[in-house]
Amino acid sequence: MTKAIRLSDDDDGLFLRDSFILVFFCKKPIKDLVVNYAKVFEHWLETTPEEGRKWTSIGGDSDETKPLTPQRLAAARKELDPARARTREVSTFEIGGPQQTNPDYFFEWFGARDAEDEMASHLEIRLPRMPTTDEEVSAVLSLARWVGELLPYASGYGAPALTWGADSQQGAFAEAVGKLAFRHPGYDVPDSMGTAFDIGTKVRGAYWLNFIGPEALKKLGGEKGLRSKLEIGIGIEKVGDGLLLQAGPRPELGDVNKKAKLPLLRSLAKVLEPVTLFDDVGIDNNFPEEDDCKRWKRRHLE
């Protein structure tokens, strides 16, 4: 088991931690997504410990988290009502715990009434840490496949991640994350809400789990063309509207100081490069300098 990463201070609280993230981006109007988003949410409620369902922020205008009460849970469910979604420009909520900020367990979704230009809706689930045992790996794979079957995704991925919580923590996070993210290239450094404005039908990059939607798959030469380019060790299977590419039996962090540069992810990054989002301004503020962010986005290609 890898050692947990928890960085905090008196001013910012828990501003950097490791976790495991599962994200799907969908290029559809939210009215066409909320029924299946609701199914994923109800499953998450049933399978997440009570301590992981303590805090919430509901609606596009909310800028603070509050205790999750039965009334607020009902309000969250209303955000997933198709009729309500048709009348709102955006619909969203997040729930997590036990920590109020940057929690062990986290569920977030964001949907736009009109999926215009490169904007996409997204759904994100975070787990306390990277799966390491056979049982944990199997559970994460089952969850990822199940969600992938439900959602008409344009892309998605599952990976170990370094995360921050409130916007006020992003500065401290940016100052600290580079040392970890460049040494261990298997980590994601996400800001799914920001990425959703730019991603369109592209993919975020190469990760342990990679969901390739129909448009991206077409640009990669279809399933036959993609199979011909993949290294042995990268699994490929049909899941929902697209394909799931799995880079190895379990997630790895890598360590460039020990020359563990994750060859499967590097080879996969080259294959996915034509459909990868590199001008993802949503994560630029996760690094202190723009050049650092650009270098991190291409970490598997250089």
What pLDDT score was predicted for residue 117? 85
Residues 257, 284 within the same domain: yes
Give me the number of domains the chain comprises: 2
Pairing relation of β-strands 155-163 and 121-127?
unpaired
What digits encode the pLDDT tens for the residues 84-126?
888 888 889 999 999 999 999 999 999 988 777 899 999 999 9
Residues 268, 290 within the same domain: yes
What digits encode the pLDDT tens for the residues 3-52?
899 999 999 999 999 999 999 999 988 889 999 999 999 999 999 999 99
Angle between helices 34-47 and 70-79 (to 10 degrees): 150
What pLDDT score was predicted for residue 29? 86
Residues 281, 139 within the same domain: yes
Residues 190, 251 within the same domain: yes
Residue 2 has pLDDT above 80, yes or no: no
Residues 134, 283 within the same domain: yes
Q: Measured at the alpha carbon of residue 13, what is the angle toward residues 10 and 15, in degrees to the nearest 5?
A: 125
End of a domain among 79, 114, 149?
A: 114
Q: Report if residue 83 sits inside a domain.
A: yes
Kindly tell me the sign of the dihedral angle through the C-alpha atoms of 244, 246, 249, 254. negative
Residues 196, 286 within the same domain: yes
Spatial contact of 165 and 14, defined as CB atoms under 8 Å apart:
yes
Residues 194, 169 within the same domain: yes
Residues 22, 36 within the same domain: no
Band (pLDDT 50/70/90 cuts) for residue 1 is low
> Which residues make Cβ contacts (< 8 Å) with residue 200, sequence separation at least 6?
27, 117, 118, 119, 120, 154, 277
Q: Report if residue 92 sits inside a domain.
A: yes
Residues 138, 174 within the same domain: yes
Q: What is the mean pLDDT of residues 225-239?
A: 95
Residue 210 has pLDDT above 90, yes or no: yes
What pLDDT score was predicted for residue 95? 98
Q: What is the mean pLDDT of the chain?
A: 95
Query: What is the pTM (predicted TM-score) of this model?
Result: 0.96
End of a domain among 114, 148, 176?
A: 114
Residue 246's φ and ψ, nearest 5 degrees, are: -115, 115
Residues 276, 178 within the same domain: yes
**Domain range spanning residue 165?**
14-26+127-302
Q: Report if residue 120 sits inside a domain.
A: no
What pLDDT score was predicted for residue 61? 83
Q: What number of other Cβ atoms are within 10 A of residue 101's Cβ?
A: 17
What's the rounded Cα separation, in Å, for the pair 246 and 228? 15
What pLDDT score was predicted for residue 94? 97
Q: Report if residue 9 sits inside a domain.
A: no
Q: What is the mean pLDDT of residues 174-194?
A: 96
Q: Report if residue 109 sits inside a domain.
A: yes
Q: Which helix (H) or strand (E) segment is 188 a member of?
A: none
What pLDDT score was predicted for residue 277? 97
What digits encode the pLDDT tens for the residues 137-157?
999 999 999 999 999 999 999
End of a domain among 78, 93, 114?
A: 114
Better pLDDT: 85 or 55: 55
Residues 299, 282 within the same domain: yes
Residues 83, 204 within the same domain: no
